[in-house]
Amino acid sequence: MVIASIFLMYAAYAEIRGSTVEPGGHIPKHIVTRADQPEEFHNAMVAYVGRSMWFLIAGVLLLLVDRAFDNADPLSSNYGKNQDTDDSSDGEK
C-alpha cells in the first residue's frame, strides 16, 4: 500500500505540474505536456492512476490474507479472535 501511495503522489505531482514522462516500457521515453499533447497526457495520467489503484487493491488483499492467517495461527496472540463460536448450542434448551 505504500507503493500505491507513492505512485498516487507522483501522479498528483505530475497533474499539478502539467507534464509527465510517457509510461510504459519504451526505452526512448519522451515528456508529455498537458498544453502540447492533451490526449497523450490524459492517457499517461490514466495509466499512472490505474497502476496505483492496482497496487492499492493488491495491498489491501494481502493485508486481509495476512490477518486471516494470523487469526488461524495457534502460536499467534490473535488466535481465535473474530471467529464465530456459538457456545449456546451445547445442549441447553
Q: Indicate the pTM of the whole model.
A: 0.67
| Nearest Cα residue to 4 out of 48, 39, 61, 42 | 48
Q: Please give the pLDDT value at position 23.
A: 81
pLDDT of residue 90: 52
Q: Low-confidence residues of the chain, pLDDT below 50?
A: 93
3-state secondary structure (DSSP) of residue 64: helix
Instruction: Locate 41 and state its grid cell.
Output: 497526457
Pair 20, 9: CB distance under 8 Å: no
pLDDT computed for residue 1 by the predictor: 81
| Strand ranges for the chain from DSSP E | 19-21, 31-33
What's the confidence (pLDDT) of residue 93? 47
Domain chopping of the chain, boundaries: 2-74
Q: Locate cell 449456546: which residue?
A: 88
Helix (H, G, I), strand (E, B) or coil at 50: helix
